[in-house]
Amino acid sequence: MNQPNKQNPPVYVFSGDEIIKLPYDKETQFSDADDSFEPAVAMVSVKCGNCGSVNVLIDDDVERTETHPREMGNESHYGAKCEAYCESCEQEMSVEVSFSEYADTWIFSSRDQENCEMVEVGGFGEALETFRKMAEDVRGQP
């Protein structure tokens, strides 16, 4: 609370044609009124802890880790481990993220960063759109 300028870089989560952006503030929620969102791919942008280069880390195999029944239906938790080698210095980096859904809303619940720090990159939307199309092409293959 005493760091008003602290950034809360988001995790981007893909489900088919939809992309949601969940900032790491444990407050912002994404509402999924028609309950159609099924996470498949998670992506974060990070700054390399070694050289400071910005890289994108992706996990294309988001997994449901647990489900608990609650008053308003199930609360489902999902986890992803986004990892890559730094394009500049080849340092291995990873961010494990978890997020959950309850009562048709999504929230970013935890992260565990190794050798890197999540950052928010301006103009990322365009890259995401490109990535989404790439993912579509991959799915289109037999």
Question: Can you give the binding site for Zn ion, defined by CB under 5 A?
Answer: 48, 50-51, 53, 86, 88-89, 91
Residue 64 CA neighbour count, 13 Å, CB half: 10
Rounded Cα–Cα distance for residues 76 and 96 (Å):
17
Of the pair 42, 86, the CB lying nearest Zn ion is at 86
Which of residues 22 and 86 has its CB atom nearest to Zn ion in the complex? Answer: 86
CB of 125 to Zn ion, least distance (A): 24
Nearer to Zn ion, 86 or 95 (CB): 86
CB of 46 to Zn ion, least distance (A): 10
Contact yes or no for 12/130 (Cβ under 8 A): no
Q: Which helix (H) or strand (E) holds 128?
A: helix 124-140
SS3 88: coil
Smallest separation, CB 118 to Zn ion (Å): 15
Sign of CA dihedral 59, 62, 66, 70: positive
Of 9 and 39, nearer to Zn ion (C-beta) is 9
Q: Least distance to Zn ion from the beta carbon of 87, Å?
A: 8
